[in-house]
Chain A
């Protein structure tokens, strides 16, 4: 490296000093970039190690199966606790959120990018960007105070007309504080994220592909399927993962809405349910030493789930690399 740099000083074709500052700049930048990369890995590793280390005492103390138990009495003697209900509630509420937010978010992004007239498009884009920045406590409060009372009818409708699908049936006749409502609030929370990210990706689809499809006689929707979706697929998956990550880890909105219960109840419109993040927030202050360790163990599971989700997304994105359009 330093060799070539000194050679260049004598090269008459290269303006004096110019190339060299470029090289120094290069080196500084490379050092900075790889440093930042390593820093991220170290932080990840440190968090993982911390979680494992702190969860060991509770896992040793647990007298039942950590994965299948639906109770949470870690400070009892013997300790009885497991994550089954937390895992169930987290996955179901996040799944409801994604099922609702993905199509709507992508639809909004498509509308902004390809259908709406310019002024409408930029206004909508501005609003979704604003919504993406609203703190989750606001969504939680709004969900609790406004959405929940107004969603009873919808939940009842689901029971009345789709009740033959087991998850929608509700034998209690009480429709509030359910995983369903939590999922809807989560959906509204992640919607702006999903929509803003997919919109950015859609806008980057080269107009050559869009015009290529239209010139073949594609309708707008056919053009979207032919030229936009294939090109934007990796970005759409990233957007979904960002949204899913937020939904899985959301604490306060879920904690406010659910009436925390350690049950696995497939009737999603009935009260009850719980999630990793909400449970940690609700139990932290009253927990004893083993209780804290147990909460951290549940946090470790959430950490691993998000890691797995992200790795899965990367794998999906890389599967058809030849066809990615990057070459």
Chain B
């Protein structure tokens, strides 16, 4: 189920603006990879190229390759819609669909399959909803109010609902862009525990502002930085989390993780 990702020589543009330059890295299946770095250095931008959400922004495009188990997701004959069905995403601010109930939110992605001729009966939908909500550690809290609006939940619950929505379609990879930055510490802990469980089944890439969080949840860490003022962002180094936080190769990484800048 989980797939590996190989990015090579990726340049990422917003129209004429080169936001990130020359990124090359690999992500192993069933691992958690954390992106850290000062804000504005392109972490979100890189993450969004991994499921082709980048090009949703008018004028945005990339040069380079992103291989998912060896297949370039930017090949001309690849439909971005299919890429996004395989690679799920959780955003910085919880974004459950406000007009849908908790139940409908979870199956939102499954409903899209109907266009491809996949039919599911009520019982199997129910099963998916329970499984996904359990997978997101939310089932016990919401099982009695599945038909209430998702927007009535707390921020942390909404974020777990979004995770349930993302895993309901059984993606190969799960991308998370600062999923805890809008949450309180307890909800943050709940999500970190969840990531620990999820990595058994999914390849996870998470952007985080919080270095303790990166140290807690990830096995590999990548440090991003701007090449200089007014220059594009780049990946400075990537390695086992323990190494990045103790004996990084680059001076800039050491300065950042020891809190000397950023």
Contacts and interface: CB of A to CB of B under 8 A. Distances in A.
Do chains A and B interact in one complex? Answer: yes
A71 B87 CA distance: 68
Contact of B53 (A117, A215, A233, A326): A215
B109 A216 contact: yes
25 contacts: A208-B91, A208-B93, A209-B97, A209-B98, A211-B56, A212-B91, A212-B96, A212-B162, A213-B108, A215-B84, A215-B91, A216-B108, A216-B169, A217-B83, A217-B86, A219-B81, A222-B112, A230-B100, A320-B99, A322-B152, A324-B99, A327-B98, A327-B149, A327-B151, A327-B152
Contacts of A320: 99
A118 B99 CA distance: 29
Contacts of A325: 98-99, 151
Interface in A284-327: 320, 322-327
A226 B115 CA distance: 13
Given A226-B108, A325-B151, A327-B152, A214 B53 contact: yes
Contact of B98 (A117, A215, A231): A231
A327 B96 CA distance: 12
A318 to B, nearest CB: 14
A118 B58 CA distance: 8
Interface in A174-193: none
B89 interface: yes
B148 interface: yes
A138 B170 CA distance: 58
Interface in B81-115: 81-86, 88-89, 91, 93, 95-101, 108-109, 111-112, 115
Nearest to A121: B58
- Chain A contact residues, majority secondary structure: helix
A100 interface: no
A232 to B, nearest CB: 10
A216 B112 contact: yes
Contacts of B93: 208
A323 B85 contact: no
Contacts of A217: 81-86, 109, 112, 169
B190 to A, nearest CB: 21
B52 to A, nearest CB: 9
Contacts of A326: 98
Taking residues whose C-beta sits less than 8 angstroms from the other chain, chain B's interface range is 20 to 34
A226 B112 CA distance: 9
A217 B79 CA distance: 10
A204 to B, nearest CB: 13
Interface in A210-242: 211-219, 222, 226-227, 230-231, 233
B159 interface: no
A118 B15 CA distance: 13
Interface string B112-153: 100100000000000000000000000000000000110110
B221 interface: no
Nearest to A117: B58
Interface string A196-211: 0000000000101101
A215 B81 contact: no
Identify the interface centre among A211, A217, A218, A327: most chain B CB within 10 Å of its CB: A217
Interface string B157-190: 0000010011001000000000000000000000
B95 A212 contact: yes
Nearest to A221: B115
A243 B174 CA distance: 45
